[in-house]
């Protein structure tokens, strides 16, 4: 078994006792840090940064040098798989990711190749290997992917969307075509995440950013069933350790029980649900990750600490089953010092809730 000096994050995901609540932040490596912006400028563009293993490792480790975080997360993008499928990913200033060749019909889906994780996506695996080496066992490394539904929204819409009319048109008018795409994406995500695990990721997370735009039945049929397939297909033990799997659907609090039924180890929560209510509903079946509103980080240090304390109190006195996080990614204009206040507050204020630290 590979030694990890601070394995609280992994133990919390497996509902094992810890002496304080571990914490990391979605998008913890990124634009709110001036040192990230310097490396990004050095790389030339975002995907060049992702494709350079040394630079990807550097920006992954930057937040760990500033804050005593309990996990690192691979620096990459959720759109690496559709990019490797040849859809012409590019980034437009002020608009975000765009695809030159969006999916429009069944023939487009049938012609999509299945990317080789150690071929077209080898740069991601090289980054994982480099980050693991550079981490030197300090904290675990999280690998990740977008969910099939979320990837499909970008692939069909051609970029970000507010109303998701194109993918919903396909969902209702040509459901078999969309299912074909989602199934192909699920297989690709399984291969991709398993390759990350083999390369050194010690936990993996599936980001279902846009699952919450669906009706309950459509969520089950077009998003959750494919995440269930992914969970079933993942390597669950590597290097002598369990490899925990976290599923996160933004605005998915109403479907907690169904998400738990996939067999995942943890469920990510956004800020629209009280963590005490979530805990009451799922019991001890999974770990809960979350769930502070990222916008709280604009507030004063006192207000940030107050919110951290409130969420910890909401979760209650329990040595197990909570990984503290934001309810979504940290905003790009948050002062880094405020992120530091947040991380320190979680560590300090959580200790009285853990018997092993008393």
Q: Is 9 annotated as a binding residue?
A: no
Q: Is 7 among the annotated ligand-binding positions? A: no
Helices (H), the chain: 8-13, 34-43, 46-51, 53-66, 80-84, 106-110, 122-135, 148-157, 165-173, 175-199, 216-219, 225-233, 256-260, 275-282, 301-315, 336-350
CA distance 23 to 41: 29
User: Among residues 15, 12, 23, which one has the least CA distance to residue 345?
Assistant: 23
Whether the Cβ atoms of residue 351 and residue 20 lie closer than 8 Å to each other: yes
Is 37 annotated to bind ligand? no
236 labelled binding-site residue:
no
29 among the known binding-site residues?
A: yes
Residue 209 marked ligand-binding: yes
Is 114 annotated in a binding site? The answer is no
Burial 236-268 (b: 16+ CB within 10 A, else e): eebeebebbbbbbbbbbbebbebbbebebbbbb
Determine whether the annotation assigns residue 96 to a binding site: no
DSSP summary character for residue 97: E
Residue 328 known to bind ligand = yes
Tokens describing residue 146: 């977008």
Catalytic residues: 27, 31, 40, 77, 154
- Residues forming the annotated binding site? 27-31, 77, 154, 209, 328
- Residues forming the annotated binding site for substrate? 27-31, 77, 154, 209, 328
């Amino acid at each position: 078994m590979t030694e990890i000096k601070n394995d609280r994050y992994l133990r919390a995901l497996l509902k094992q006792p810890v002496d304080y609540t571990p914490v990391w932040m979605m998008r913890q490596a990124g634009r709110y840090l001036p040192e990230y912006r310097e490396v990004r400028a050095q790389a030339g563009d975002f995907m060049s940064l992702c494709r350079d293993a040394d630079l990807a490792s550097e920006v992954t480790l930057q937040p760990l040098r500033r804050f005593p975080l309990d996990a690192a997360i691979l620096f990459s993008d959720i759109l690496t798989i559709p990019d490797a499928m040849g859809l012409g990913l590019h980034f437009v200033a002020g608009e975000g990711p765009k695809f030159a060749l969006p999916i429009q019909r069944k023939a487009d889906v049938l012609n999509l190749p299945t990317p080789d994780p150690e071929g077209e996506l080898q740069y991601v695996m090289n980054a994982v290997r480099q980050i693991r080496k550079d981490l030197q066992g300090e904290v675990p490394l999280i690998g990740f992917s977008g969910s099939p539904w979320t990837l499909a929204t970008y692939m069909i819409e051609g970029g970000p969307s507010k109303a998701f009319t194109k993918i919903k048109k396909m969902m209702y008018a040509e459901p078999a075509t969309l299912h074909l795409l989602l199934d192909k994406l699920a297989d690709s995500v399984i291969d991709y995440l398993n390759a990350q695990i083999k390369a050194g990721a010690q936990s993996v997370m599936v980001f279902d950013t846009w699952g919450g735009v669906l009706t309950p039945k459509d969520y089950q049929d077009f998003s959750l069933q494919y995440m269930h397939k992914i969970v079933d297909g993942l390597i669950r033990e590597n290097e002598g350790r369990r490899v925990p799997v976290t599923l996160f659907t933004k605005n998915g609090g109403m479907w907690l029980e169904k998400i738990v039924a996939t067999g995942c180890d943890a469920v990510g929560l956004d800020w629209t649900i009280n963590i005490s209510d979530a805990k009451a509903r799922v019991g001890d079946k999974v770990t809960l990750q979350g769930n502070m509103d990222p916008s709280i980080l604009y507030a004063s240090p006192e207000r940030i600490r107050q919110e951290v304390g409130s969420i910890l109190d909401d979760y209650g006195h329990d040595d197990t089953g909570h990984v503290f996080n934001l309810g979504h990614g940290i905003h790009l204009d948050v002062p880094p010092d405020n992120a530091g206040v947040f991380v320190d507050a979680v560590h300090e204020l959580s200790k009285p809730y853990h018997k092993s630290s008393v």
